[in-house]
Amino acid sequence: MTKAKGKPRVAILMGSDSDLAVMSHAARILERFDVSYDIEITSAHRTPERTVELVRRAQKRGTGVFIVGAGGAAHLAGVVAAHTHRPVLGVPLASTDLAGLDALLATVQMPGGVPVGTLAIGAPGATNAALLACAILALSDAVLAERLVAYRLDMAEGVERKSRAARNGLRSLLDQDPGGR
């Protein structure tokens, strides 16, 4: 699956179709920033040759960052990192009874020399992986850098709006019931 205008700048890889609901958070962020991407399901254990071929093909097409989601032993990010010199951002997924803690530990404990940037478990990790991928790409893309600044400003303004609404809502409640009952 591709959401690309031209060559994909990011590759999103995951070990199972059950990971798509979480990894779609990364895709949404990339779309918001108009960053092209490919998204694929592959397995470090069940389809190792396919995984290596996807990484090689992505590099040839100019992919700059890999976002890799995996649960359990979470070997996929490490296998991808072993076959590229491009940044690999690992998203641990909650696919076992350990609720993603196993995947978090497996992803964060990569051996020295084969780095995988590790994000939070689940949807927050997928979201932040895409934002980090955008930040990496923005180092050589001024338009993308401007989009990131605008995104942060919009988030800050959103907090201000919510704070005003909360204050106004509290005032309204207190006006209705001054005794605080």
pLDDT value at position 177? 63
CB 142 within 8 A of CB 148: no
Please indicate, yes or no, whether residues 16 and 86 belong to a single structural domain of this protein: yes
Please indicate, yes or no, whether residues 130 and 149 belong to a single structural domain of this protein: no
pLDDT in tens, 35-58: 999 999 999 999 999 999 999 999
Q: What is the mean pLDDT of residues 85-97?
A: 96
pLDDT in tens, 122-152: 999 999 999 999 999 999 999 999 999 999 9
Q: Please give the tally of structural domains in the chain.
A: 2
Question: Which tokens go with 20?
Answer: 């798509």
Please indicate, yes or no, whether residues 82 and 124 belong to a single structural domain of this protein: yes
Please indicate, yes or no, whether residues 94 and 65 belong to a single structural domain of this protein: yes
pLDDT value at position 31? 97
pTM above 0.85, yes or no: yes
CB atoms within 10 A of CB 74: 29
Question: Which tokens go with 7?
Answer: 């060559």
Token pair 């988030």: residue: 155
Range of 129's domain?
Answer: 2-140
DSSP per residue, 95-151: -STTTTHHHHHHHHTPPTTS--EE--SSHHHHHHHHHHHHHHHHTT-HHHHHHHHHH
CB atoms within 10 A of CB 124: 13
CB 67 within 8 A of CB 24: no
